[in-house]
Structure formats: structure tokens, C-alpha cells
Structure 1
């Protein structure tokens, strides 16, 4: 089996299929995670925009939140879905899920795991200055790893900047990616198995003429046939034609040798007859020796 051509083709085909599917699976999972994270960011920013839109100020400049996001996940304690509004280090308002605690976020442009930092102008008429948006990862009150968006806005009515925070648990992203990865693995396992079986089937079909040619050569060796059949595929027919040419040449050589032997026998037949007759006339031991 070490020198089996079919085994080499099958193994090389299987390796190519496995590597291709593995690389494709990794790429798909990576792209899916990018998509989920972008969707996650967009959802958090929608909640921040809702909080900004709900913000108003009394005539004396006091903060007022007219409504809060209605997402039920913000109502569940320790859900990982939190929002908080701060001015300086004071919490102006927060979600029920926080239960009065503060989020331990890093200062903007400061510590923490900073992944994105960009400026974004919100389409709200009362905002006069550009707002700074930052994305951070940090541990929440229940030690869950959170994905957070922080937005700092300077309102004309407020004396200080106001910080808006919206968070969601990274575990939800990981869960979606893990579930998708399992589906990809199962799908690609089925696909890979089918492709490998197809390679095995194709190799057996493709090499079947070689097996037939081997059997035909065996028939020639046993004297059952004089030549190989001429009904092979074009790629093999070239070899078959060369083998048949060698067989024809061998046949011609044998016929020529037989003819030469026949001519030689005919040539020496008469001289041998004369010698035998002469030997019969010699009665001594020499004649008997010649006769023999």
C-alpha cells in the first residue's frame, strides 16, 4: 500500500479538503464574530441615543430624565445589561438592574481595555459640541465581563460634561459565536466527509481502466490473448498502443526466427541424408558412430 497510486491521490485530496474547510471555517467564525460585535455596538449605542434624547434640564439647570429604555433586560438584577448617567462622579440616573451600584468604568482616554476611540457628532439639535465615544471592556458588579459604550456630551444647559454608559455581557456574544461555530463544524464535517467520499469514488472510477489493463496484460502472458484491447481512455490508450507495438514486434521476431529455423532445417536436410546413407555403407565402428 505504500506505493499505491490510488492511496496517494486519496490522501492528498483529503488533506486539501480538510485544510480548505478548516481555513474557511475559521474565516467564517471570525467574520460572524465581527458582525455580532458590530450589531452589539449598534444596540448599545441605540440605548445611549435614547437616553440622550430623554435628557432634559429644568430652568435652574438640574438634570431630568423624561423616560428610560424599555428593554426588559435593564430591569433584571445582575443581568449584565446596565445603563448609567453621571455628572462628575455623581450618578444622575441608572437602570434598575444596577440596584443602586456604580459601574467601575475607566476614564475616557485613560485606563481599561480601550478598543475604539472616535469622535461622532450626534444628530440632536440641542448638542452644540462634538461628543466623545469610547468602547471599553470591564467587570461589572457581579464580576461579569461587560462590553460598554461610553459617551461624553457637553450640554449648553449643564455646567459640566455628562457621561452616558450602556453595557451588555460579552458572554452573549461568546454564546452566539460558539453556537455558530458548532453549526459550522457540523456542517463542514458533513461536507468534508461527502467530499472525501467523492474523491474515493472518483479515484476508483478513474483508475478502473488501469486495473482492466493489468488483467489484459495477464491474459497476454498466459497466452489467452495476443494483444491488448484498444478501448481504453485516451490518457491510457497511448501506453496501450506502445505495449501493443512491443507485442507486435515480439510476434514478428518470433515468426522470423521460426522461418529462419525452417529454412535452416530444409538446407541441411539433404546433406544429412547423404551422410546417413554413406554411414550405412561403412560397416566398421566409424560408420556406426556417424550413423548415431
Structure 2
């Protein structure tokens, strides 16, 4: 992961919040559904419980009367659905139970530590005769002289667990699909939201390559100040460069004029050894000043970020000019230039640099000069392509001693 990527940071933060929110929402919905399922199950148990209490409260019922609740599961042995009526006001309590309970007994919720609710019942989960988990509701009933009873109804809690598990399964699938859709939406939103920044980046690249001079177009209000400040910076850079050019030109005139006077005065007294020495050093000073002023002028031009010059047309015009200048020696100049070659600078700069090389080659060539322009790919990511101009001739070249002298 690129820590400097704003898009990655936005996507990861949105994804983290999305996962947390969906997880919390899923837990809450699952809990709410489980409570609702339990309440529906408890209403069913309470209905059976009230029916049993009504049967118990009916006078003159024979002892062997079998209560009918209208639920076949109470008739099937160990079906998971049971009812039990326990008389508690006698030493040896009388117990009546559903056929499904067979010869087993239901545990008492009172003994399990469950407290009476405001409705006068106890309710909770207990272990059944066959190890089933039962949801049980229990209520004490006092019939006065007819006795006190503990009436309980229990149902198989697997119905609650299966319903909740099924809901959790569908909820997880729904939230997973929703999460994927929201993540795709987040990716689109991040890309759409950062598109103006990408436009600014591409526009700045166009300025550096010379295809544009300013940041153009409308930008969102949050980014518009950045575009304005960037344009202001480009304008300020141009003004600084123009002032530097002016100062370089003024300095050139201010220095060259006194040096020309010194050179002229010393030349009129060439026979005097002192004048000859002054003339020699003044010429060296003039050449050095011209050299460094020219370098400063070129450096100032290069700082203009939006100036780009096509190389092939410049060298083609230079080729024709040099052939005319040296036509008395019948010099032929062959040019092979990459059409995509560009120079980041002004036309006069590359004319001057290439012109010096070509003119020198024409002076020493026997009959032919070769010019080749190459564009090399970037050496490293983020760097621009490199421009190579190769000037060669068929002259005699330099001897070892001459090369050593030139390199000094």
C-alpha cells in the first residue's frame, strides 16, 4: 500500500467504517429478531399456560381428566413439547403431565433461580428430558381451598434457534452484497471526488512539457484556490525570469563597454610590453564575462517551465543556413532527427548551442557533416526523456596531444 496515496487512504478509511457499521447493525438486527422470535414463542406458551390454568380452575373435574390443548405434539412421546401441573400444598405433591413427557418431569424454574415477572410468571431456558433445550414458562396458581398448583409449559427451543440462525444467514448474505455494492460505490465516489486533483496534475504536466501555459478550466471551490495560486506562481516565475534577463543584458553592456575601451587603448600601444599584457588579460576577461553571462542567460531561460521547442525544424533551418555559409567548400550536412524530439527551452538557445557545434564541424570537415537527434526514455520513474544531439564530421579529428589540450 502506498501510504502517500490519498485515494487509498480515503478508500481504506471508508471501508473500515463500512465494515464496523455493517457489523454493529447486523448484531443489533440479529438481537432484535431473536427477541421478537422469543416473544412470539412466549405468547404461544402463555396461551397454552392460560388454557391449563383454566382447566385447573374448573371445579368438579375428575382426577384422571386428561387436558386437551389442541396441540398434537403434547401427545407424542418426548416430542419437546410438554406441560406439567404440580400440586404444592400437600406433602406429597400430585403431578399431572402431558403424554409427551412420558415418565419424566420438568425442572422447576424456581429452583433454577428464575424470578417472577410483574405478570406473575417465570420464564427461561431449561434442559429437557432428552437433553433438549426447552423454553419454559411457569406460573404458581393459588385456588384457595382447592389447593395451590405450579403450572408449567415448555416447548422445544430449537425452533427459536433455527429461526434466528436462518435470519442470521440471510442477513449476512444481504449485508455482504450490500457491503460489496457500497465498496464499489466508494471506489467510484473516491475516483470522482479526486478527479479535479488528477486534472490539476495533468495540467501541471502539460505546463512542464510546454503544451499549456496556465491551469485552465473550472475547478471545485475547495481546489480553485490551489489553481489560482499555481497560476500566480507561474506568472511570478515568468516575471522573475524576465527581470533576470534584463539584469543580465544590462550587466553585459555595462561590463563589455569598459573592457572594449581597455582593449582598444591597449591595442594602440601594442609595442609596449605592459600594454600587451593588459591587452592579453583584457581579452581573457572579456571572453570569461561573455561566457558566464551567456550561461546565466541560458539558465534564466530554462527556468521558464512552459517553454518547449521542436528540435527537428530548428536543426533543419540550421542545416540549410550552414550549407549556404560553407558552400565554397562544398560541405554537405546530413540530418537525421526524431520527429518527437523536443527541447525544454527557447528556440534561440538550442540554435546557439547546436549552431556552435555544427559550425565548428563544418570548419574542420573534409566534405560532410552528420547530425543525429535521439530521444532516450526516462532513466527513472518521474523523470523526463533525455535529448541527445550528436554532431560528427569526416575531418582529421584531434591528436592525443590536442585532445589533452582541449580537455584542460
1:192 aligns with 2:179: yes
The answer for the alignment partner of 1:80 in structure 2 is: 80
- Aligned with 1:84: secondary structure? strand
From the superposition, tell whether residues 225 and 136 of structure 1 become closer, same or farther in structure 2 (CA, over 3 Å): closer
Alpha-carbon distance between aligned partners in 1 of 2:66 and 2:251, rounded to the nearest angstrom: 126
Q: 1:169 aligns with which of 156, 159, 181?
A: 156
The answer for the alignment partner of 1:90 in structure 2 is: 94
Alpha-carbon distance between aligned partners in 2 of 1:202 and 1:261, rounded to the nearest angstrom: 52
From the superposition, tell whether residues 12 and 291 of structure 1 become closer, same or farther in structure 2 (CA, over 3 Å): closer
The answer for the alignment partner of 1:103 in structure 2 is: 105
Give unmatched runs, 5+ long, in structure 1.
121-131
* TM-score, normalised via structure 2 length: 0.61
Q: Who wins on radius of gyration, i.e. which is larger?
A: 2
The answer for the alignment partner of 2:232 in structure 1 is: 245
Alpha-carbon distance between aligned partners in 1 of 2:122 and 2:65, rounded to the nearest angstrom: 22
* TM-score, normalised via structure 1 length: 0.83
Alpha-carbon distance between aligned partners in 2 of 1:177 and 1:201, rounded to the nearest angstrom: 35
From the superposition, tell whether residues 275 and 119 of structure 1 become closer, same or farther in structure 2 (CA, over 3 Å): closer
Q: How does 1:111-150 map to 2 (within 5 A)?
A: 111-114=111-114, 116-118=115-117, 120=119, 132-150=120-138
Alpha-carbon distance between aligned partners in 1 of 2:95 and 2:142, rounded to the nearest angstrom: 16
Aligned length: 273
Per the TM alignment, residue 275 of structure 1 is displaced from its structure 2 partner at its CA by: 4.3
Per the TM alignment, residue 272 of structure 1 is displaced from its structure 2 partner at its CA by: 5.0
Deviations 1:257-292 (A, max 9, x none): 222333344455655554454444333364462566
- Aligned with 1:138: secondary structure? strand
The answer for the alignment partner of 1:42 in structure 2 is: 43
- Aligned with 1:69: secondary structure? coil
Q: How does 1:263-278 map to 2 (within 5 A)?
A: 263-267=250-254, 271-278=258-265
- Aligned with 2:131: secondary structure? coil
Q: Which has the higher contact order (CA 8 A, sep 6+)?
A: 1
- Aligned with 1:234: secondary structure? coil
Q: Is the Cα contact below 8 Å between 1:146 and 1:169 reproduced in 2?
A: yes
Alpha-carbon distance between aligned partners in 2 of 1:173 and 1:69, rounded to the nearest angstrom: 21
Give unmatched runs, 5+ long, in structure 2.
285-408
